[in-house]
Amino acid sequence: MALLTVRNIETYYGPIMAIRGVSLEVNDGGIVTVLGANGAGKTTVLKTVCGAMDPRKGTVDLDGRDITGLDPNRVAQLGVGHVPEGREVFPFLTVEENLVVGAFSRKRADFSDDLEMVYGYFPALADRRRQPAGFLSGGEQQMLAIGRALMLRPRLMLLDEPSLGLAPTLAREIAGIVARLRSEQRMAILLVEQNARMALDISDYGYVMETGRIVMEDTCERLQNATDIQEFYLGMKDRGVRGRRRWKQRKTWR
Amino acid sequence: MDSDQAALFEARNLSLSFGGVRAVRDVSFEIRRGEVFSIIGPNGAGKTTVFNLINRIYDADEGTMRFNGTEMSRVPGHRVAELGITRTFQNTELFDRATVLDNLLIGRHVHRRTNIVAEFLFLPTVRRQEIAFRSYAERIIDLLELQGSRDQMVGALPYGTRKIVEIARALCAEPELLLLDEPSSGLNPEETEDLSFWIEDISADLGVTIAMVEHDMNLVTAVSNRVMAMADGAAITTGTPAEVQDHPEVLRAYLGD
Amino acid sequence: MEVFQLLLSGLSQGCVYGLIALGFVMIYKATEMLNFAQGDMMMLGAFVAFTFVNLAGLPFFVGFLITLVVMVGFGMGLERTVIRPMIGEPPFAVLMLTIGLGFILRAVAGAIWGSGTRTLDVPFAGRVLEVGGVVLGYENLVVIGGTALLCIGLWAFFRYSRIGIAMQAASQNQLAAYYCGVPVKRVTSLVWGISAAISAAAGVLVAPVMLIDPMMGFLGIKAFAAAIVGGFGSLPGAIVGGLLIGVVEQFAGLYLPAGLGEVSAFVILLVMLMARPQGIFASMQQKKV
Amino acid sequence: MRFVLTTHYGQDVNLFRHNGQRFWYALLAVSVVVAPLFLSTFYVGELVLVFIWAIAGIGLMLLVGYTGLVSLGHAAFLALGAYCHAVLLGYGVPFAVSAPVAVAFTALVGALVGIPALRMTGVYLAIATLAFERIVAYGIEHWEPVTGGLRGMSVPQPDFFGVSLADSYVLYYVSLGVLAAGLFAAANLLRSPTGRAFVAVRDSEISAESMGVHLARTKTTAFAVSAAFTGLAGVLLAHRIGYLAPDAFTVQTSIQLLLLVVVGGLGSLHGVVFGAIFVGYLPQVIALARDVLPSAVGQIPGLELGIFGLILALFLVFEPLGLYGRWLKIRSWLSLFPLYRKATHKRQKAYLRTERVQ
């Protein structure tokens, strides 16, 4: 049975419908990616899953339990770690304090092992554990955000654009760690990415979103070979530069 | 476009640091009259910061900017629109509690010729000005097909429409140079294609020079005359879209392989 | 000698401003909300202590502790009922709401305890200590000492306790704190509770120096000035700003024309806002585009 | 619902969109003009107070509701207008000179207060205006030779084209005229570039500036205009109360003015009038209630202000759009009757995030 089941959710920003009937599944131990352009609603899906936004329709189930509309801290306690877009570390807290906050929902357990585990994945953080997170570089902040989510010992990790703003080598490093996390920590991952190439490389299954809808889903191998995906998301489209065919009066039935 | 055409805007050796991080390093470029000039690069490469420098939201630590031959590195922010440069913002910065029409009319603000006393009394000059503003705004509404949302509150519009309203507002000031900050973000491929037509119309019908920061390489290739690629705050190369896309450093920094 | 005397009473008065300002700053840091009723919470705290100590006849320290507990409950209840629905409303609306709350608290206090002035029985009232010609009132010393203790306590709380760190996390990025499993709503309630307790402590400390009455909450306005002068959002800034204003007031009161001491806090505030709007300990900057 | 066929842009610029509106406003105008004929002096006096509140409210509404700048010190402008006018009258300056001078003086002070606003965000500004109010109050209390200090001063009541402003009926028509002119002027301003610049500054400073709006000038203008309206209300208030003392202009007065704009409905001139009626009559209602209530409750000190605070809090929590907003909802409910959906005004989960950056 799927670990996470999202059924037909509709979420609004005020009066604006940001996602319109999205359904998806993440299996235990699987990596599932959601692709799409900026503003297609990918982040909104993650926010709805983790409870930061309430869907007006539809349900979110975690391991058979309905978690729709729970507060995000409750969802986190149930084992969903969230690495938000733009990293969102606590800038005035030190690296270690950031990680301690990450373990907040776990009852007074000894988390020094977990700290060591995080520092093992990200040795760069160990060197800077006493520094305020605001002074870290973008890549280090991304590592810290992932590490902070790991402190929850999550069963499902929501990863929002982990490669955003990172140099390509760093992005590849992060991708490698994500792949390792799945096998070593046996957690499922729901990955939202613009860097489709990287996402498709490490994921099992992919969904493609456009303006709040899922327009395509398939295994990643098949997605990688689909012409639409190649054109729009992998930048392989062979398009004429200028002088495309067009009518002066464009279509107006929108 | 031939390469010796006059530059409308010229930036020389712009640099800017935020608390030790060099967001923009020694960037020089020019925007030629009538062209569509795109800046590409990974997130955090400093593209939007360049716009914020042109727009005078930030003071450059070093470097100069000339627009139409006028030195503008120290011009106050509100004068930039008067000079003839208006812009849109990455996540749209509209006046949410006003109608689309009012937003466009604020775009006309630089053309205001009345004083507050006349406005209190709503003298005939003010009335004539309002009607003139309105008819110009209607021209832009027609151009960008915003008739349907004219009287709606901007805050309640869908994201795609908001992006277009922001372009319309910037156009209402009759700029010579229009800066578009990621105009296609949040638009679906179809809307992005429409956007590319509109950019062409704005360029052709209104004769406005356009500079844009953009991620969507299809859009960039479709509409740009010249492209500048940036990474880590520095300009890597400038050239035609095809040249830039094939530049080895760009491939490495941006496309990733 | 006179200068020392003034300095000391200025410092003790300044501690009171600083203590109320600490309450403001805590709430502001944790929730970005401004509680204009902070001064009135101090007033309420003083009256509650008065009830337990004078009316119920409990020993001072027992009464004081009960007061703190009651005020924590009051602060949390206030947050739960009135403030929470306002999350997401513009700051102006919250400001107005707390102004309204201040009026309500004053009316309620007037209804319960009457509008007359009261004196809290404290064990250290009226005694003095003379050191080298300077007369030190015990109540002044207690204010200064109490403030110092409270500051150290708060500092340790924020530095070492898990909930204190989580509070800072919630103040820096609410949504990310949620993602880490921090129950932000409960934490916010707690912030209001602690803030109410701090102002109650301020009320008890100030009670021997000035009388208790429903209008004493107006001190809160000067505490606000102190918080801004110190640099809003900075806990040490709140204390430094309070001390500065307290001392200047005392000196202005003596050496400048009548009544100028009263407004000197506001003059300092305006000068500060013109010259260095971010305050002594700057902690805020502009919004990024 | 009414649909209007617009055939010329000029029509959209007009204050009234169709004859129906014109009819109702005309009816309202006629009724306030003839009202004094049927009312006793006391009620006319109360109505004068409502008009004065409304004039001051226009000022604060332009500032708070349209420009998004909060002032907790508007009582100071009311006081400055009143005292300046009264002092000038005392020196024998004719009304026709002293009133405009008082208004201009208040506007000037307002512009000066607006200067710190250029560098401050909302909350700082609120505190700064509060500090300004305290300083003005201090000045009035201590500049005895001119203001009479705490004792106060009486307001000379000059003849005004042969009639005295001390007469409630005369003051009624003068205030009504001023209010009508003020509403007209404010509405004009709001449909002109300056008014739109106010709104632009309120909604997004950064993009207002990039559209060529001079932030500094716009904010100082907003402050000056706001202070001028409030100062004008002060001039009329001086005549209404006849005797000026510092306790007529306190922080509470400022708060009452804010109550007026919040309860009326931020961002609407209609709201000013609704709010003024509310603030003008609430003390009467409370006074009546005191007589009815058992004395233990009725005699609570600070009861009136406590009720003010309570109403303020209730409005902010339950009806942030104010009375005018409530009226609009009722109207849209009526016109859409079977189709109205409650979800239209639903609130969402919201999260705070600090805007502090390192």
D326-353 pLDDT, tens digit per residue, is: 777 777 777 666 555 444 444 445 555 4
Asked if D188 contacts B121 with a C-beta cutoff of 8 angstroms, the reply is yes
Q: Collapsing DSSP states into helix, strand and coil, what is residue A14?
A: coil
Tell which residue, A18, A56, A11, has the closest CA to residue A39.
A18
The predicted structure's pLDDT at residue B2: 44
Close Cβ partners of C197 (under 8 Å, ≥ 6 residues apart) = C45, C68, C71, C72, C75
Close Cβ partners of D216 (under 8 Å, ≥ 6 residues apart) = D118
Adjacent-strand bridge partners of B228 = B39, B238
> How many distinct helices (H) and strands (E) make up chain A?
10, 10
So where are chain D's domains?
20-345
C178–A152 CB contact, under 8 Å: no
What single string gives the DSSP state of each residue in A71-126?
A: -HHHHHHTTEEEE-TT----TTSBHHHHHHHHTTTS-S---HHHHHHHHHH-HHHH
Higher pLDDT, B175 or A12: B175
Q: Which of B29-38, C82-91, C174-183 has the lowest mean pLDDT?
A: C82-91
The predicted structure's pLDDT at residue D267: 84
Burial class (CB in 10 A: 0-12, 13-18, 19+), B142: exposed
Tell me, yes or no, whether C227 lies in a domain.
no
Adjacent-strand bridge partners of A34 = A192, A207
Cα–Cα distance for residue pair B63/B26, rounded to 1 Å: 8
Q: How many residues does chain A have?
A: 254
Residue C195: give the domain boundaries: 2-214
Select the residue from B79, B99, B130, B174 to test the D interface by mutation, using most D Cβ atoms within 10 A.
Answer: B130
B221–A241 CB contact, under 8 Å: yes
The predicted structure's pLDDT at residue C215: 84
Tell me, yes or no, whether C53 lies in a domain.
yes
Cα–Cα distance for residue pair B256/D317, rounded to 1 Å: 52
Chain D hits for B127, Cβ within 8 Å? 10, 13
Domain D20-345: which topology?
Answer: ABC transporter involved in vitamin B12 uptake, BtuC (1.10.3470)
Name the closest residue on chain B to residue D194, using Cα atoms: B116
What single string gives the DSSP state of each residue in A33-85?
A: EEEE-TTSSHHHHHHHHHTSS--SEEEEEETTEE-TT--HHHHHHTTEEEE-T
**The residue type at A64:** G
Chain A interface includes C117 (CB < 8 A)? no
Cα–Cα distance for residue pair D212/B85, rounded to 1 Å: 10
In this prediction, residue C1 has a pLDDT band, given cuts at 50, 70 and 90, of: low
Residue D16: count of CB within 10 angstroms of its CB: 13
Asked if B42 contacts B25 with a C-beta cutoff of 8 angstroms, the reply is no
Tell me, yes or no, whether C84 lies in a domain.
yes
Tell me, yes or no, whether C175 lies in a domain.
yes
Residues 146-205 of A with CB under 8 A from B: 164-168, 171-172, 194-195, 197-198
What single string gives the DSSP state of each residue in D53-110?
A: HHHHHHHHIIIIIIS----S-HHHHHHHHHHHHHHHHHTT--HHHHHHHHHHHHHHHH
Residue A239 predicted with pLDDT over 80? no
**Sheet containing B226-231, strands listed edge to edge, beginning at the edge strand earlier in sequence:** B85-87, B177-181, B209-213, B36-40, B226-231, B234-239
Asked if B54 contacts B10 with a C-beta cutoff of 8 angstroms, the reply is no
D84: left (phi over 0), alpha (psi -120 to 50) or beta: alpha
Residue C85 predicted with pLDDT over 60? yes
HEC assignment per residue over A167-181: CHHHHHHHHHHHHHH
Cα–Cα distance for residue pair C271/C186, rounded to 1 Å: 39
Handedness of CA C154, C156, C159, C160 (dihedral sign): negative
The predicted structure's pLDDT at residue D325: 75
Asked if B231 contacts A168 with a C-beta cutoff of 8 angstroms, the reply is no
Residues 118-177 of B with CB under 8 A from C: none
Chain A interface includes C179 (CB < 8 A)? yes
The predicted structure's pLDDT at residue A244: 44
Tens of pLDDT, residues C111-147: 888 878 888 887 777 777 777 777 778 888 888 888 8
Q: Collapsing DSSP states into helix, strand and coil, what is residue D242?
A: coil
Tens of pLDDT, residues A39-93: 678 888 999 999 888 888 899 999 889 999 888 899 999 999 999 887 788 888 8
Handedness of CA D192, D197, D203, D206 (dihedral sign): positive
Q: How many CA atoms lie within 13 A of D259 on its CB side?
A: 30
Chain D interface includes A54 (CB < 8 A)? yes
Chain D hits for C96, Cβ within 8 Å? 258, 262, 312, 316
Asked if D211 contacts D201 with a C-beta cutoff of 8 angstroms, the reply is no
Residue A108 predicted with pLDDT over 80? no
Question: What domains can be seen in chain B, in order of their start residue?
Answer: 1-84+175-257 (3.40.50.300), 94-173 (no CATH)
Average pLDDT, chain A: 83
Residue D358 predicted with pLDDT over 60? no
D358–A135 CB contact, under 8 Å: yes
Asked if B252 contacts A252 with a C-beta cutoff of 8 angstroms, the reply is no
Chain A interface includes B215 (CB < 8 A)? yes
Most distant CA pair in chain D, distance: 67
Q: Collapsing DSSP states into helix, strand and coil, what is residue A5?
A: strand
Cα–Cα distance for residue pair A199/C263, rounded to 1 Å: 63
The predicted structure's pLDDT at residue C224: 86
Q: Collapsing DSSP states into helix, strand and coil, what is residue A226?
A: coil
Tell which residue, C80, C72, C49, has the closest CA to residue C194.
C72
Q: Which of D5-14, D84-93, D179-188 has the lowest mean pLDDT?
A: D5-14
Cα–Cα distance for residue pair C120/C90, rounded to 1 Å: 39
Chain B interface includes C275 (CB < 8 A)? no
Cα–Cα distance for residue pair A147/A162, rounded to 1 Å: 12
Residue A241 predicted with pLDDT over 50? no
Tell me, yes or no, whether C253 lies in a domain.
no
Chain A hits for D358, Cβ within 8 Å? 91-92, 132, 134-135
The DSSP H or E segment spanning B19 is none
Tell me, yes or no, whether C6 lies in a domain.
yes
Tell me, yes or no, whether C149 lies in a domain.
yes
Which residues of D touch chain B, with CB atoms under 8 Å apart?
9-10, 12-13, 185, 188-189, 191-197, 199-200, 202-204, 206-215, 221, 225, 267, 358
| Dihedral in degrees, nearest 10, Cα atoms C23, C26, C32, C36 | 0
| Dihedral in degrees, nearest 10, Cα atoms C80, C85, C87, C89 | -150
**The residue type at D225:** V
Higher pLDDT, A106 or D106: D106
The predicted structure's pLDDT at residue B217: 78
User: In sequence order, which ranges of chain B are alpha helices (DSSP H)?
Assistant: 47-54, 79-83, 100-107, 116-121, 124-143, 159-172, 189-205, 217-223, 241-246, 248-250
Adjacent-strand bridge partners of B11 = B29, B65
Cα–Cα distance for residue pair B201/B207, rounded to 1 Å: 9
Chain B hits for A254, Cβ within 8 Å? 194
Asked if C259 contacts C269 with a C-beta cutoff of 8 angstroms, the reply is no
Chain D hits for B121, Cβ within 8 Å? 185, 188
Residue B94 Cα, gap to closest chain D Cα (Å): 7
Adjacent-strand bridge partners of A254 = none
The predicted structure's pLDDT at residue D36: 86
Average pLDDT, chain D: 84
The predicted structure's pLDDT at residue A207: 93
B93–D199 CB contact, under 8 Å: no
Higher pLDDT, A170 or A150: A150
Higher pLDDT, C255 or D302: C255
Tell me, yes or no, whether C196 lies in a domain.
yes
Instruction: Give the nearest partner residue to D349 out of A53, A92, A132, using CB atoms.
Output: A53
The predicted structure's pLDDT at residue A235: 52
Q: What is the DSSP pairing of strand A16-27 with strand A156-160?
A: unpaired
In this prediction, residue D320 has a pLDDT band, given cuts at 50, 70 and 90, of: confident
Residue C283 predicted with pLDDT over 70? no
Asked if B175 contacts B84 with a C-beta cutoff of 8 angstroms, the reply is yes
Q: What is the DSSP pairing of strand A2-13 with strand A16-27?
A: antiparallel
Average pLDDT of adjacent 10-residue blocks, chain B of 257 residues: 68 85 88 93 81 90 91 90 92 86 93 91 92 93 88 81 92 95 77 86 91 85 91 88 85 60
Tokens encoding D197: 């610049």
Close Cβ partners of C203 (under 8 Å, ≥ 6 residues apart) = C42, C43, C44, C45, C46, C47, C49, C212, C216
Q: What is the DSSP pairing of strand B234-239 with strand B226-231?
A: antiparallel
How far separated are the first and last CA of chain B, in Å rounded?
31
Chain D interface includes A138 (CB < 8 A)? no
Close Cβ partners of B102 (under 8 Å, ≥ 6 residues apart) = B95, D196, D199
Residue A204 Cα, gap to closest chain D Cα (Å): 33
Tens of pLDDT, residues C9-29: 888 889 989 988 988 888 887
Number of domains in chain C: 1
- Which range in B189-198, C158-167, D309-318 is most confidently predicted, on average pLDDT? C158-167
User: In sequence order, which ranges of chain D are alpha helices (DSSP H)?
Assistant: 9-13, 19-34, 41-60, 74-90, 95-117, 122-142, 144-147, 168-190, 193-203, 205-210, 215-241, 251-264, 269-292, 295-298, 303-318, 322-335
Tokens encoding A179: 């792949």
| Dihedral in degrees, nearest 10, Cα atoms D304, D310, D312, D314 | -150
Close Cβ partners of B199 (under 8 Å, ≥ 6 residues apart) = B36, B180, B183, B210, B212, B223
Asked if D219 contacts D87 with a C-beta cutoff of 8 angstroms, the reply is no
B34: left (phi over 0), alpha (psi -120 to 50) or beta: left
The predicted structure's pLDDT at residue D105: 97
